Structure 1
Amino acid sequence: MAPNQGQISNRMLTALDLRDFALLAPYLERVDLPAQFQIAKPRERLEHVYFPESGIGAVMTVSSTGQIAEAGMFGWEGFVPTATIIGDNVVPYIVEMNIAGWGYRVPIEAMRQATMESSSFQVPLIKYMHVFATQVAYTALANIRYLLEQRLARWILMCHDRLRSDEMCITHEYIALMLGARRPGVTTALHILEGHRLIRSLRGSVVIRDREGLEAFAAGSYGVPEQEFERLIGSRAISHKPA
């Protein structure tokens, strides 16, 4: 049975006009999205577009020598791979779930058919592509111009937006991989945030104590992509209560 739009929390699916959602609804397949599940691999043919309802994933760039870095983060606010909206069925990067969740997937052909049937179908999806590009741009800015502890504050805030919980099960190793930093440096940065009473760092998890303080500490590295999402797509405030 096709899901009802009112039962869905993915903000791209809820942003669709009712008639546009109806074009996609018969093809929405509920799927689990376990940690380390690869939605896309470099230059391998894509079969589906994913709309997460929970969990966190990352788009990760890969060099010819195997070096990996996080370019952007996604969760219940978005869809991946975004390249499918411009008609592409391969990407040069990895799209992977890092914190387990679940969501819906749609065959690429169904997305293309919906696009041909409705001129308005692509509008919110293309807006999301702009928002995601803005996020990638601010990740580059943070990596070059901000201290590790400020980058960490930004990254925790972005996780908080997507997990909708004050406690996040994330390890130092995972944070180091995503930030492109060494684990000892991440541990020190966590201690700095903890010393400011912004978070509590536990074994295998981080608990947010002062979100407003974290935003201030991030010093402008966080906020612009999020504001762009709300300006272009958002119709309701993000809740930080557990789903």
Structure 2
Amino acid sequence: MLHHVYFLAGGVASMVAESKQGIAVEVGMVGREGLVGASALLGKEAIPLRAMMQVPGNGWRIPVDVLREEFRRRSAFQELALRYIQVLLTQSAQNTLCNRLHTVDQRLSRWLLMIRDRVDSDQLYITHEFVADLLGVRRAGVTVALGRFRDAGMIHHTRGYVTLLDMEALEKTTCECYSVISESFQRLFE
């Protein structure tokens, strides 16, 4: 049972679904634009997801009961929270589609761009294994894709760090999933 909802002021959390065998895949990503645990507003049962910080940050923790009470008041918070949950559903559906249909290069470039959008930095601290786990691919696939990105001048990477150099090339490499997800987040605040 979820006891708190987290509003991030910085950093990025991955929402991860995990099988009984311990195989995990990222189904969503939350930065300062949203909240971790949004599903708690919809009912007593929490969605079986695990949140893990992929980029360290800080934020605020609010008891679920307090937030549910505010949600029930049909306030501006409720309207914004429902719009945000709709965006999360779009992100989850698009990630599922992406994981099924697109290449490792496309998925990796989408993921890198989505992280960048949430941290406003071109330098990311990530490991190949961590990214592979989140994308549901083999570590070797991520290593090969990052090598192609480096050779094309899109990134520079050293052990544990990736610096994004050419956003335009990364955007050309990614699939339509990046724009679908990005546009849904942009509409959130219209």
TM-score (norm 1): 0.74
Aligned match for 1:81, one of 37, 54, 62: 37
* RMSD of aligned residue pairs (Cα, Å): 1.4
Structure 2 residue matching 1:206: 3-state secondary structure? strand
Letter in 2 for 1:167: Q
Aligned-pair CA distance for 1:120: 3.0
Aligned equivalents of 1:232 and 1:166: distance in 2?
Answer: 24
Q: Which has a greater percent of helix?
A: 2
Q: Which residue of 2 aligns with 1:71?
A: 27
Q: Which residue of 2 aligns with 1:183?
A: 139
Aligned-pair CA distance for 1:219: 3.2
Aligned-pair CA distance for 1:119: 3.4
Letter in 1 for 2:14: A
Aligned-pair CA distance for 1:221: 2.6
Q: Which residue of 2 aligns with 1:104?
A: 60
Letter in 2 for 1:199: I
Aligned equivalents of 1:121 and 1:53: distance in 2?
Answer: 17
Contact 1:56/1:98 (8 A) holds in 2 = yes
Q: Which residue of 1 aligns with 2:48?
A: 92
Aligned match for 2:79, one of 110, 115, 123: 123
Structure 2 residue matching 1:92: 3-state secondary structure? coil
Q: Which residue of 2 aligns with 1:113?
A: 69
Larger radius of gyration: 1
Contact 1:154/1:218 (8 A) holds in 2 = yes
How many residues get paired?
Answer: 190
TM-score (norm 2): 0.94
Q: Which residue of 1 aligns with 2:174?
A: 218
Change (3 A) 1:211 1:71: same
Aligned match for 1:145, one of 95, 101, 106: 101
Letter in 2 for 1:189: A
Q: Which residue of 2 aligns with 1:20?
A: none
Q: Where does the alignment leave 5 or more consecutive residues of structure 2 unmatched?
A: none
Change (3 A) 1:61 1:216: same
Aligned match for 1:158, one of 109, 114, 127: 114
Q: Which residue of 2 aligns with 1:199?
A: 155
Q: Where does the alignment leave 5 or more consecutive residues of structure 1 unmatched?
A: 1-44, 235-243
Change (3 A) 1:149 1:233: same
Aligned equivalents of 1:113 and 1:129: distance in 2?
Answer: 17
Aligned-pair CA distance for 1:89: 4.8
Structure 1 residue matching 2:22: 3-state secondary structure? coil
Q: Which residue of 1 aligns with 2:187?
A: 231
Aligned-pair CA distance for 1:182: 1.4
Aligned equivalents of 2:80 and 2:164: distance in 1?
Answer: 31
Contact 1:84/1:108 (8 A) holds in 2 = yes
